[in-house]
Structure 1
Amino acid sequence: MTQTPLPGYVPLAEVVRSGMREGVHYGAVVGLSPEGEISYARGPVHDPMFPRSSAKPFQALAMLRAGARLEGTSLAISAGSHNGEDFHLAEAERILADAGLSADDLRCPADVPGGRAARAAFLAEGRSASPLYMNCSGKHAGMLAACVARGWSTEDYLDPEHPFQLLVREATEDMCGERIAHTAVDGCGAPQLAVSLVGLARGLQSMRLSPEGSQERSVPEAMSAHPEYVAGTDRIDTELMRRMPGLVSKIGADGVLVLSAPDGRTVAVKISDGDAELRARTLVGVTALEALGLDISPIADRLTTDILGGGAVVGEVRSL
């Protein structure tokens, strides 16, 4: 099988331990001005990539376009990747119940809570893994609610050719302004649609700057108003949105992050090594927001990430 060459990712952040460079994170980052112009770009920002969970706002928009009655916390969790805390489970169950469904109708994998506190409580109480705990269960509940609203089948809602997934494709292309480059299977089993970093940034920016009261704008507004439903306790998305009111932050697996300010300034990041420890993408994204002229003082400490040694700070990860 012919292999597609990797994009020309560039150095974005360095890891410095005790005064010596230990490693480098490569990737790509793009920043859009309020007018939609590319004002900051490093690396292959036009090459296709999988936005992973950073694409959930587009999936949530498709739910609304299908007629799902989602708003406030239910809309935020439908566009989120939650910890599996009790209030997340309650919200996902409520969305399902309102649609006449239950957790048995979810097609995402069974999982355990992702947040440290929620996982500790889970283990202490001897609970069993369930699709409800899976970080995408809010999204799946919203998808099912959309299918019920349209009278579409719910058993095969993850099929790429299902009417709902075709609506997701249409909404994604509509917002991002480009055709889907490739379709894959995401970690939760839903179709994952490849766009460029520029497309990802333009997609969220388009939603933020849509007319007040529109379905498009309601998704990022719900996310910024209810950050704990987008992520959860001790999560970077929640922290950034709480500390910088009006900001929308959505992390995606394998090194992706998209950030959007109320005036439309938007940044999308891809760290090529996956950034498993979440130590590079945030500082790269915040650096890009600062380069766009945004006042990032409430989250300026996120311009670096501490490196520990023996329980003490001995270095940092910082932008290049």
Structure 2
Amino acid sequence: MIVAEVVRSGFVESVHHGIVALTVGKSFGDVDSPFFPRSSNKPLQTVGLLNAGLVPREEADLALMSGSHDGEPFHIERVRAMLAAAGLGPEALRCPADLPLGEAARNAWLRGGGEAEPILMNCSGKHAGMLATCVVNGWPLESYLEVGHPLQKALADAVSRLAGEPIAAFGVDGCGAPIFAISPMGLARAFQRLVEAEPGTPERRVADAMRAHPALVAGTGTEDTVLMTAIPGLLVKKGADGVAAAALPGLGAVALKISDGATRARVPVLLEALRRLGAETPEIPEVVLGGGRPVGEVRAVW
């Protein structure tokens, strides 16, 4: 199944195959075999943090814990504040040292003479939330990334419950934290449960925080932030290797994986999937540049 094609100067130069799960009785490709959703799992893990007793300083912190931030100053300041509220400093983070994910933030940091630091890593918000939850429960801090740690057991339970299926495999994500394999359909079900949960529940708190503070989920001009700003009520979280999950209350949810990991095919396919749910979506073209000017596009062909 072809789900997207790259057209340059009228010539189809490449195609991208993918798997798409829709919670409206439709699917494309194998939506029942497990895979690693990568960062699309983050909102589900944040629900697990709340279930484990986390009390955030403010609801906006839940958006940052659930996101993959660009490392802009307002992201980093909030991570520092989250850690400080738990009586911790950046040295407690066990994610790898990195530069800001966003190009503008990275260039500004390097111009200022900055170097890679764990707090700049795009998952530092998630790690700050994990550490704060450990503090609340008196759990060990040094080993919070081990799959057998009480924290990670609680997060795995939350992901499994929301997905409606057992965890198929455990892996290690790019940030060093455990990642839990579920099916694309399970991921779509989980996102639908987030947006359709009762107000005030952990699920709904996470969904509401992300939608109210989309810039904390990603960053200025970044995919998730742009989509949630443009489509009222949308919850969306991308993941590495061409993964995305999204949901709209009353319409359903979608989870997708571009098989070759192509990120530029992700938005056109996601927007088409949302249209198939019945959503009104804006035109957000994925432009192919040549010599600095538009010469083609990536489009969903299904």
TM category (shorter chain) comes to over 0.9
Q: 2:7 matched to which residue of 1?
A: 16
Q: 1:55 matched to which residue of 2?
A: 41
Q: Normalising to structure 2: TM-score of the pair?
A: 0.97
**Alignment-mate amino acid for residue 21 of structure 1:** V
Q: 1:315 matched to which residue of 2?
A: 296
Is the contact made by 1:115 and 1:234 (CA closer than 8 Å) also made in structure 2?
no
Q: 1:211 matched to which residue of 2?
A: 198
Cα distance per residue 1:248-280 (max 9 Å; x no partner): 1101001101111132521111001111xx311
SS of corresponding position for 2:21? strand
**Alignment-mate amino acid for residue 282 of structure 1:** V
SS of corresponding position for 2:4? strand
Q: Does residue 25 of structure 1 match 2:12?
A: no
Q: Distance in 1 between the 2:102 and 2:296 partners?
A: 26
Percentage identity across paired residues of the two chains: 50
Q: Does residue 89 of structure 1 match 2:76?
A: yes
Q: 1:281 matched to which residue of 2?
A: 266
Q: Distance in 2 between the 1:206 and 1:137 partners?
A: 25
**Alignment-mate amino acid for residue 150 of structure 2:** P
Which shifted more, 99-108 or 208-217? 208-217
Unaligned runs of 5+ in 1: 1-9
Runs of 4+ that moved beyond 3 A: none
Q: Distance in 1 between the 2:280 and 2:70 partners?
A: 29
Is the contact made by 2:69 and 2:123 (CA closer than 8 Å) also made in structure 1?
yes
**Alignment-mate amino acid for residue 287 of structure 1:** E
1:96-111 map, 5 Å: 96-111=83-98
| Alignment equivalent of 1:305, drawn from 261, 276, 286 | 286
Q: Normalising to structure 1: TM-score of the pair?
A: 0.91
Q: Distance in 2 between the 1:217 and 1:137 partners?
A: 22
SS of corresponding position for 2:160? helix
SS of corresponding position for 2:246? strand
Is the contact made by 1:52 and 1:192 (CA closer than 8 Å) also made in structure 2?
yes
**Alignment-mate amino acid for residue 82 of structure 1:** H
Q: 2:209 matched to which residue of 1?
A: 222
Q: Distance in 2 between the 1:305 and 1:98 partners?
A: 41
Q: 2:230 matched to which residue of 1?
A: 243
Aligned CA-pair RMSD: 1.1
Which shifted more, 221-230 or 263-272? 263-272
Cα distance per residue 1:5-38 (max 9 Å; x no partner): xxxxx321111112221001111011123xxxx2
Q: 1:234 matched to which residue of 2?
A: 221
SS of corresponding position for 1:97? helix
Q: Distance in 2 between the 1:245 and 1:181 partners?
A: 34
1:89-238 map, 5 Å: 89-238=76-225
**Alignment-mate amino acid for residue 30 of structure 1:** A
Q: 2:278 matched to which residue of 1?
A: 293
**Alignment-mate amino acid for residue 26 of structure 1:** H
SS of corresponding position for 2:256? strand
Is the contact made by 1:29 and 1:270 (CA closer than 8 Å) also made in structure 2?
yes
Q: Distance in 2 between the 1:228 and 1:157 partners?
A: 27
Q: Distance in 2 between the 1:116 and 1:314 partners?
A: 23
Q: 1:6 matched to which residue of 2?
A: none
Unaligned runs of 5+ in 2: none
Q: Distance in 2 between the 1:137 and 1:157 partners?
A: 14
Q: Distance in 1 between the 2:49 and 2:39 partners?
A: 15
Q: Distance in 2 between the 1:311 and 1:90 partners?
A: 35
Is the contact made by 1:103 and 1:132 (CA closer than 8 Å) also made in structure 2?
yes
